[in-house]
């Protein structure tokens, strides 16, 4: 084995080991990475509002504080409204089981009628069975063909009813107690998100200039271009999805209110936001109006119109709004998107599915601006 071959094997081995170490760190410290990236996403959403205030001579720290306070206030009122809507749905929840049972029974009755009709049609075309053949016995009497006799089985043993002890435990409470450690970590890291967002917005210029001082010469230019590319792609994706989600939530809620679907604000908001989920958006978009209609016993005509509206708005958003607002800046081919959803979903569960596309788009932006990585950027692109 030559020296060049050994060097190639060594470099590939080091690359594989480094990739394994990075994946292990991403999985082990995922709660920290998810918190930091979530704060970055929120900061990108709020950055245009901070920039608007700085243009009218607001200091950046004050502009950031005003925007964060307004965002928290809006989030509080949105949560309060959603809680009221959820309370109403919880009151109607006992009727959900009954309504679903009625719907299932109606579908089963129709299927049974179809089966009966099909059975009648096939029975008309089927030839009748031949009559039993009579045989001559030794006494000269005609008897029918003997049938096999089935021996009688012994009676089953007496079953003593099992005495069950009534269990008053709440399964939701048991699940919360079993996941208390994970819930504590989520709440602890979630409490850092507002602080991270504030400091990312108020100290943005200082952090950007200080980070560039780690590099000299052409490397500084490459890093600056890479950071600008990452910011542009991430802002296009995050802000674009945010705008589409808000627009879908408003339009869907208004249309659900027009057709008198119960709880239109909550159901329309959930349907509009669920439409943005990759691949499963259509199914998730029709799920809130379906459950709300079944829980409250809404008329079938209203339920069908609501499902059609949710599906139609999802198709319009994905085929018209998304390519125009987001797709023009985020150039990722469908195969890479699918693998990124699988990979980040495996590492970070539901949070990975939400953050997979912006992370992959940021990696592509780095590859596009680094000379030695441009071939990988072309591979990731469309």
Q: Measured between alpha carbons, how far is 193 from 211 in angstroms, rounded to an integer?
A: 22
Task: Count Cβ atoms within 10 A of the Cβ of residue 295 and give its class: 0-12 exposed, 13-18 middle, 19 or more buried.
Answer: buried
Give the rounded percent of residues in the chain with a pLDDT score beyond 90. Answer: 5
Which of 54-68, 205-219, 221-235, 317-331 shows the lowest per-residue confidence on average (mean pLDDT)? 317-331
Region 307-312 average pLDDT: 89
Q: Pick the residue with more confidence: 8 or 204?
A: 204
* Confidence at residue 144, expressed as pLDDT on a 0 to 100 scale: 47
* Confidence at residue 73, expressed as pLDDT on a 0 to 100 scale: 92
Q: What is the pLDDT of residues 233-249, one digit of tens each?
A: 777 777 788 888 889 98
Q: Measured between alpha carbons, how far is 352 from 341 in angstroms, rounded to an integer?
A: 7
Task: Count Cβ atoms within 10 A of the Cβ of residue 242 and give its class: 0-12 exposed, 13-18 middle, 19 or more buried.
Answer: middle
* Confidence at residue 107, expressed as pLDDT on a 0 to 100 scale: 65
Q: What is the dihedral of CA 7, 11, 12, 18, to 10 degrees?
A: 160
CB distance 227 to 214 below 8 Å: no
Q: Pick the residue with more confidence: 99 or 76?
A: 76
pTM, to two decimals: 0.66
CB distance 50 to 201 below 8 Å: yes
Region 52-73 average pLDDT: 90
* Confidence at residue 159, expressed as pLDDT on a 0 to 100 scale: 58
Q: How far is CA 223 from the centre of its chain?
A: 33
Q: Measured between alpha carbons, how far is 224 from 210 in angstroms, rounded to an integer?
A: 12
Q: Pick the residue with more confidence: 330 or 340?
A: 340
Q: What is the pLDDT of residues 196-223, one digit of tens each?
A: 999 988 888 888 888 888 888 788 888 8
Q: Please state, rounded to an integer, the average pLDDT across all residues of the chain.
A: 77
Q: What is the pLDDT of residues 126-148, one digit of tens each?
A: 555 555 555 554 444 444 454 55
Which of 4-13, 56-65, 153-162, 187-196 shows the lowest per-residue confidence on average (mean pLDDT)? 153-162
Query: Can you give the three-state secondary structure of 170-199, one letter per residue?
Result: CHHHHHHHHCHHHHHHHHHHHCCHHHHHHH
Compute the C-alpha angle 96/102/105, nearest 5°.
140
At 136 the three-state DSSP class reads strand
């Amino acid at each position: 084995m030559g020296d060049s071959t050994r060097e190639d094997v060594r470099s590939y081995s080091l690359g594989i080991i480094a990739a394994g170490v990075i994946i292990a760190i991403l999985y082990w410290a995922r709660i920290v990475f998810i918190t930091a990236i979530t704060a970055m996403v929120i900061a990108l959403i709020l950055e245009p509002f901070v920039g608007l205030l700085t243009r009218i001579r607001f200091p950046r720290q004050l502009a950031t504080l005003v925007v964060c306070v307004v965002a928290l206030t809006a989030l509080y009122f949105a949560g309060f409204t959603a809680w009221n809507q959820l309370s109403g749905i919880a009151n109607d929840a006992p009727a959900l089981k009954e309504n679903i049972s009625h719907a299932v029974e109606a579908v089963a009755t129709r299927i049974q009628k179809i089966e009966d009709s099909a059975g009648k049609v096939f029975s008309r075309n089927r030839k009748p069975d031949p009559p039993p053949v009579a045989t001559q016995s030794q006494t000269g009497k005609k008897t029918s063909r003997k049938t096999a006799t089935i021996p009688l089985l012994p009676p089953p043993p007496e079953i003593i009813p099992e005495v069950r002890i009534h269990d008053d435990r709440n399964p939701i409470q048991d699940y919360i107690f079993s996941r208390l450690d994970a819930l504590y970590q989520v709440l602890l890291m979630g409490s850092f998100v507002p602080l991270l967002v504030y400091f990312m917005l108020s100290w943005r210029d200082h952090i950007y200039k200080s980070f560039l001082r780690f590099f000299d010469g052409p490397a500084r230019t490459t890093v600056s271009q890479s950071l600008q590319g990452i910011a542009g792609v991430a802002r296009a994706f995050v802000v674009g999805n945010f705008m589409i989600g808000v627009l879908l939530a408003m339009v869907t809620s208004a249309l659900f209110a027009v057709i008198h679907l119960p709880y239109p604000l909550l159901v329309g908001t959930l349907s509009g936001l669920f439409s943005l989920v990759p691949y499963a958006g259509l199914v998730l978009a029709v799920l809130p109006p379906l459950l709300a209609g079944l829980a409250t016993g809404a008329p079938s005509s209203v339920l069908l119109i609501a499902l059609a509206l949710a599906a139609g708005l999802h198709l319009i958003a994905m085929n018209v709004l998304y390519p125009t607002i987001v797709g023009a800046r985020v150039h990722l081919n469908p195969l890479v998107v699918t693998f990124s959803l699988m990979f980040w979903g495996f590492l970070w569960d539901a949070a990975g599915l939400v953050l997979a596309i912006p992370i992959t788009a940021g990696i592509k932006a780095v590859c596009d601006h680094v000379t030695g990585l441009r071939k990988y950027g072309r591979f990731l692109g469309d």
